[in-house]
Amino acid sequence: MKVEIERVNEKVHLTAKNEQGVIVHMDGSPEIGGEELGARPMQLVLMALGGCTSMDMLSMLKKMREEVKSYKVSVDAERATEHPMVFTKIHIHYTLEGKLKKENVEKAIALSMDKYCSVTHMLNSTATITHSYEIKN
């Protein structure tokens, strides 16, 4: 796996490109010279966590023959107040819609959090990660 990071302008606006050519824009806060032209790196970490667990969830629920009509996950985090300002608390909330069995949703969340989601496992060393969910019919 490889990505390339390139500066876009004379400030801190960057692009990250993966091996498939997909480009993601990153930028910093105005306090460090950013112009809000992209996601901040720590926001991307939370996006990676949400994406990782979501791919696990949707794949497992499909294998369980659960029909997910809509799916959304929100990730809220707190950071340390001193450098390095790592995440200390993260909460993931899953919102699913469909006629889903509660026990299958709980099993999929547990498997993602405890076994499959590599991003969760990397963040576990500094953050307490909790989760909740709701099923809308």
pTM for the full predicted model:
0.94
Catalogue all structural domains in the chain, each as residue range(s) with its CATH number. Answer: 3-32 (no CATH), 41-136 (3.30.300.20)
Please return the burial class of 24, using the count of CB atoms within 10 Å of its CB with bins 0-12, 13-18 and 19+.
middle
Q: Which residues of the chain have pLDDT under 50?
A: none
Q: What's the pLDDT at 133?
A: 98
Q: What's the pLDDT at 28?
A: 96
Q: Token digits for 104?
A: 């299958």
Q: What's the pLDDT at 97?
A: 98
Determine contact, residues 101/119, Cβ cutoff 8 Å: no
